[in-house]
Amino acid sequence: FSFRVRPEGMAGADLDAFNLALLEAINADGRIYLTQTRIDDKLVIRFQAGPFSMTEADAETAVAVIAEMAATALEQVRGG
């Protein structure tokens, strides 16, 4: 699936840049690796749950990492 985090009041190129920075932070963290794509010319973060060896725990870890990193990025945008 694909998703993007959307801080209130942010749109266009700023929103694309925010999500690209979030993607880069997630990948730099090293616990999971995500990619990007474009849908309707908007940058989105892509999560691929394809490996046959992937477990439910792996999916839960991915959700937790995404939520943690997104919360940190949103806090930074809000000036916290």
The domain total for the chain is 1
Please give the pLDDT value at position 37.
98
Among all chains, which residue has been given the structure tokens 């009041």? 9
Q: What angle do CA 10, 16, 20 make, to 5 degrees?
A: 125
CATH number at residue 13: 3.90.1150.10
Among all chains, which residue has been given the structure tokens 């870890």? 61
Q: How do residues 4-61 score in pLDDT, each as one tens digit?
A: 999 999 999 999 999 999 999 999 999 999 999 999 999 999 998 877 888 999 999 9
Q: What angle do CA 12, 79, 42 make, to 5 degrees?
A: 15
In one-letter notation, the amino acid at residue 23 is L
Please give the pLDDT value at position 36.
98
The DSSP secondary-structure symbol of 2 reads: E
pLDDT at 80 over 70: no
Please give the pLDDT value at position 16.
98
Instruction: Write out the residue range of the structural domain in which residue 18 sits.
Output: 2-77
How many residues appear in the chain? 80
Question: What average pLDDT does this structure show over 58-71?
Answer: 96
